[in-house]
Amino acid sequence: MEKKLKIGRSDFELIVKNGYYFVDKTMLIRDFYDNGNDILLIPRPRRFGKTLNLSMIEHFFDIRKPESKALFSGFKIAQDKEFCAKHQNKYPVINVSLKDVKETDWVKCLYKFKTIISNLYKSYRFLLKSEKFDKDEIDFFQNIVSKKANEIDYKAGLVNLSKYLQIHFGQEVIILVDEYDAPIISAFNNTNSPIKSPDKENKSYYEKVVNFMQGFLGSAYKGNKSLHKGMVTGVMRVGKESIFSEWNNFDVFGITMPYFCDSFGFTEAETQKMLDDFNLSNKKEDVKQWYDGYKFGDVENIYNPWSIVNYITKNKAGFKPYWVNSGDYSLIKSRIVEVGVQENIEHLIKGETIEKELHENFVFQDFEADTELLWTLLTDNGYLTQVEESDFDNHKLRIPNHEIKIVFRNIIKTWLNKEVKLKKDLLISTTRSLINNRIPEFERGFRQLVGDTFSYYDTAEKTEKHSNTQTVHSEQIYHVYTLGLLAILKDDYIIKSNKESGEGRYDIMLIPKDKTKNGIVIEIKSIKKQKTSEKKEDFICRVNKEIKKALVQIESNKYYSELLENDIKPEKIVKLAIVFVGKEPYIKAIKKN
């Protein structure tokens, strides 16, 4: 029978009953149940299988679904007959998702909460026929369903439903909550700073959401005698003081911890088997480059499941950033453009690692002031992955794969296009002049770009003003700026920077993928502005001296060696010096004939 995949559906029963391809993650069921904590928070990047796994757990334990035993036949969990006999279909289960609570204000958000909780109660309407409930309990139930209940009642919606189920079935309840952080992230994105209102009587949207969640989840998971076991999933590890205050027997199993490492995302073995099963064995290396690279806990080579499923389904269309295109990362983009992170982004784009602290508990209030929390945000969301732990909470981080490199490339374009008001047409024509060795045209375009956009880089001038000697810091800023501009050439050129070549380090190198095109090596310098007392001819002499110094440096240190090693002919090598004087660049090149 021909194998088939189902994209975008996370209903375990639907997938298994209809014969869709399913990667067996059923041992998560036992790992979850046997864990010593009553409540588990497992954050993972979006579209890494969280919702499907919760659906799987629900169908295994749900006392109302005895027919689901057949669904697990042939999967790994079915081999543990003792565990299945003891626990399968033995507990009432509540499974609620908050993924759609993404509103722009509190009124709409509260209505969405009411709708979700009302629909949840509707699925348990059979309880109204029970003779075990008094009038107040029945009235509460009906008011929730009809959306006539007040906010306080909806906060108690989860804990009361678990109480009703325990009374009806005589068994404690398993409570599953998916995407618990979606309302919180949305509220943060739509709350003007500061997110914590100074007016205690007029709370911000963010504070109202946190307050509701504290009641909604807190009452269900803290001191709830009807609770048997609970799992909460999301993307972020929101600080305990925000939501999880004083929860008992609760723990967070984040992506750096050695638990549930292979339960979310596809392992290398699982991915390779899928490719074999769909006759795509010859694409394994390309798939690895595009979608592999995550490390969860102590398990390496975790693949992005959303991208794998989409690629296999649409493989004739080639490799595309399926996961990247499936969601919004506006919160991340808004932080990437902050001053102070560009140098780290440059290192990441070059394929290097950066060492950063990853915070186990993420507090949004701190995020407004602490730029370093960006790295926790990027890692939790799947845009970076750990390489290894250095010491304490410090981790070496890198971009996991080619798909995510595209994100950072687009972020740099956004950073240049939107934040510094860069004109795309001018950028394209300017870089085209460079790669075609039309240096005077390149200089004119580059000067215009710098003049239009470089106000964002006032730090370069400030560095010079507060230093008695020329420092490398201003040159680094010019370097990052130039590298960001040249990122648009990524499709046609391999862009490298600060790498050993010949007898020293070049600043930037463009290696053409088409060996008939020009290869370019760039050396960047910066000098102080012309002083009032300095004659123009003396200033020009100083500029030319620095240009000559840069070109001699390229030649004497053989910075172009790597281009020769990549089969670029000597006559196709352009050696370029860029000397920045404040916001004015001076450019000269030597083309070897």
End-to-end, the C-alpha distance of the chain in Å comes to 63
Q: Is 411 inside any structural domain?
A: no
The neighbour count for residue 409, using CB atoms within 10 Å, is: 17
Q: Is 193 inside any structural domain?
A: yes
Is there a single domain that holds both residue 205 and residue 343? Answer: no
Instruction: For residues 419 and 108, give the distance between their C-alpha atoms in angstroms, rounded to a whole number.
Output: 31
Is there a single domain that holds both residue 181 and residue 273? Answer: no
- Residue where one domain finishes, among candidates 404, 436, 457: 404
Is there a single domain that holds both residue 214 and residue 276? Answer: no
Length of the chain in terms of residues written: 593
Is there a single domain that holds both residue 439 and residue 554? Answer: yes
Is there a single domain that holds both residue 502 and residue 369? Answer: no
Characterise 464 by phi-psi region: left (phi > 0), alpha (psi -120 to 50), beta (else): alpha
C-alpha distance from residue 499 to each of 349, 433, 469 (Å):
13, 25, 25
**pLDDT for residue 582:** 82
Q: Is 342 inside any structural domain?
A: yes
The predicted-structure confidence for 203-214, as pLDDT tens digits, reads as follows: 899 999 999 999
Q: What is the DSSP letter of 7?
A: S
Chain centroid offset of residue 229 CA = 29
Average pLDDT over residues 218-231: 96
Residue carrying structure tokens 């189902």: 6
- Residue where one domain finishes, among candidates 325, 340, 367: 325
Helix (H) or strand (E) holding 286: helix 284-291
pTM for this entry: 0.77
Average pLDDT over residues 167-181: 98
Instruction: For residues 559 and 515, give the distance between their C-alpha atoms in angstroms, rounded to a whole number.
Output: 18
* Residue 123 predicted with pLDDT over 50: yes
The predicted-structure confidence for 72-110, as pLDDT tens digits, reads as follows: 999 999 999 999 999 999 999 999 999 999 999 999 999
Whole-number average pLDDT of the chain:
88
Q: Is 428 inside any structural domain?
A: yes
* Residue 459 predicted with pLDDT over 50: no
**pLDDT for residue 247:** 81
**463 band by pLDDT with thresholds 50, 70 and 90:** very low
Q: Is 558 exposed, middle or buried (0-12, 13-18, 19+ CB in 10 A)?
A: middle
The number of folded domains in the chain is: 4
The dihedral built from the CA positions of residue 387, 252, 374 and 263, taken in this order, carries a sign that is positive
**pLDDT for residue 165:** 98
* Residue 469 predicted with pLDDT over 50: no
**Higher-confidence position of 510 and 469:** 510
- Here the tokens at position 394 are 């410090």
The neighbour count for residue 209, using CB atoms within 10 Å, is: 26
**pLDDT for residue 304:** 98
Least confident of 46-50, 235-239, 304-308, 452-456: 452-456
**pLDDT for residue 405:** 87
Q: Is 100 within 8 Å of 119 (Cβ atoms)?
A: no
Residue 585, phi then psi, degrees to nearest 5: -95, 145
Least confident of 117-131, 222-236, 504-518: 504-518
C-alpha distance from residue 343 to each of 270, 355, 486, 523 (Å):
36, 13, 15, 18
Least confident of 183-197, 226-240, 335-349, 513-527: 335-349
**pLDDT for residue 414:** 62
Is there a single domain that holds both residue 206 and residue 219? Answer: yes
**pLDDT for residue 472:** 41
194 upstream amide cis, omega within 30 of 0: yes
Least confident of 46-55, 184-193, 225-234: 184-193
CA dihedral 574, 580, 585, 587 (to 10 degrees): -30
Q: What is the DSSP letter of 194?
A: P
Least confident of 132-146, 350-364, 383-397, 444-458: 444-458
Shortest CA distance to 177 belongs to which of 216, 121, 142, 126? Answer: 216
**pLDDT for residue 145:** 97
Is there a single domain that holds both residue 317 and residue 346? Answer: no
CATH of the domain at 532: 3.90.1570
The predicted-structure confidence for 387-411, as pLDDT tens digits, reads as follows: 976 676 789 999 999 999 888 876 6
Q: Is 121 within 8 Å of 157 (Cβ atoms)?
A: yes
Largest CA distance in the chain: 99
The predicted-structure confidence for 522-545, as pLDDT tens digits, reads as follows: 999 988 888 778 888 989 999 999
The predicted-structure confidence for 476-488, as pLDDT tens digits, reads as follows: 668 877 888 888 8
Average pLDDT over residues 234-252: 79
471 by DSSP, 3-state: which? coil
Least confident of 4-8, 52-56, 124-128, 472-476: 472-476
Query: What percentage of the chain carries pLDDT values higher than 90?
Result: 67
Is there a single domain that holds both residue 44 and residue 140? Answer: yes
* Residue 225 predicted with pLDDT over 70: yes
Q: Is 4 inside any structural domain?
A: no
Is there a single domain that holds both residue 126 and residue 241? Answer: yes
The boundaries of the domain holding residue 456 are 420-591
Is there a single domain that holds both residue 393 and residue 439? Answer: no
Shortest CA distance to 493 belongs to which of 434, 407, 442? Answer: 434
Amino acid at 579: V
Shortest CA distance to 280 belongs to which of 311, 307, 258? Answer: 311
**pLDDT for residue 1:** 57
* Residue 268 predicted with pLDDT over 60: yes
Helix axes 27-34, 50-61, angle to 10 degrees: 80
- Here the tokens at position 459 are 């730090």
Residue 399, phi then psi, degrees to nearest 5: -75, 130
* Residue 412 predicted with pLDDT over 70: no
Query: What percentage of the chain carries pLDDT values higher than 70?
Result: 88
Give alpha helix (H) positions in 466-574.
Answer: 472-486, 536-556, 561-565
Average pLDDT over residues 272-283: 97
* Residue 19 predicted with pLDDT over 70: yes
The neighbour count for residue 246, using CB atoms within 10 Å, is: 10
* Residue 456 predicted with pLDDT over 90: no
Please name the residues in contact with 302: beta carbons below 8 A apart, sequence gap of 6 or more.
261, 262, 265, 266, 267, 292, 293, 294, 295, 296
**248 band by pLDDT with thresholds 50, 70 and 90:** confident
Q: How does DSSP assign 51-65, residue by residue?
A: HHHHHHHHHHHBTT-
What count of Cα atoms within 13 Å lies in the side-chain half-sphere of residue 272? 7
Q: Is 412 inside any structural domain?
A: no
Q: Is 5 inside any structural domain?
A: no
Instruction: For residues 252 and 460, give the distance between their C-alpha atoms in angstroms, rounded to a whole number.
Output: 42
Average pLDDT over residues 276-304: 97
Please name the residues in contact with 270: beta carbons below 8 A apart, sequence gap of 6 or more.
23, 303
Is there a single domain that holds both residue 78 and residue 214? Answer: yes
**Higher-confidence position of 393 and 146:** 146
The predicted-structure confidence for 337-375, as pLDDT tens digits, reads as follows: 665 677 788 788 778 899 999 887 787 777 777 778 889
Residue carrying structure tokens 């694409």: 283
Is there a single domain that holds both residue 236 and residue 223? Answer: yes
* Residue 335 predicted with pLDDT over 90: no
Average pLDDT over residues 40-62: 97
* Residue 468 predicted with pLDDT over 70: no
Instruction: Tell me whether strands 299-302 and 294-296 are parallel, antiparallel or unpaired.
Output: antiparallel
Q: Is 135 exposed, middle or buried (0-12, 13-18, 19+ CB in 10 A)?
A: exposed
**464 band by pLDDT with thresholds 50, 70 and 90:** very low
Q: Is 232 inside any structural domain?
A: yes
